Amino acid sequence: MLDAYAWAKLGLTPRFPAVDVTSEQRLHIITRGLLLDWATTTAPADNATAAAAINAGHALRAFDRRSTLSDLRARAYLLDAFRDFDDQDEDVDPHPHNCAGCCAGTGEVLTVLTWEHHGDGVYTTAHQEPILCYGAPTTHAPDCATCEGDGFTYTPGYRHLCLDGRIPVSGSATSSVAPQNA
């Protein structure tokens, strides 16, 4: 809330001409109203906070140049405005929640990158970390310059997943290599 308030005020100065003052002011009203609404639900006997939340809803309606509503609907308008504002971020979210690459919408997949070699082809997980999700199951390009299509690189005692030649299975690549599972 303070961040939106500060940017709304700083945007009025010539030092920050790129700040969208109207959007920041609207965000400040929404955030303040939601905090008051939350405070109202935690302390229902506090009539002053409830009135302030209602006033914030009416102020947001007035800011959006919309007609007034009942007090209850004005508070509901705050929640709707926040959901609409929050939905704008979905355009920059990497993937949907049911992503075929199994990232659950985060754009990253927790993947084993290094295995320790115990001899006779036995490897155990040594290191894993999140890597970029391509939005589909991946395969490895047979002409990868890093691993020569194997999908792995090797150092004494370890095997490492090669990330350079990963391609989505449903992508435009014409690889016939099956996905590497370890």
Model confidence pLDDT, tens digit, residues 27-79: 888 888 888 888 888 888 888 988 888 888 888 888 888 888 888 888 888 88
pTM, whole model, 2 decimals?
0.44
Cβ–Cβ under 8 Å, residues 91 and 85: no
Nearest CA-CA partner of 94 in 77, 78, 106: 106
The arithmetic mean of pLDDT across residues 100-107, rounded, is: 81
Cα distance between residue 101 and residue 143, in whole Å? 23
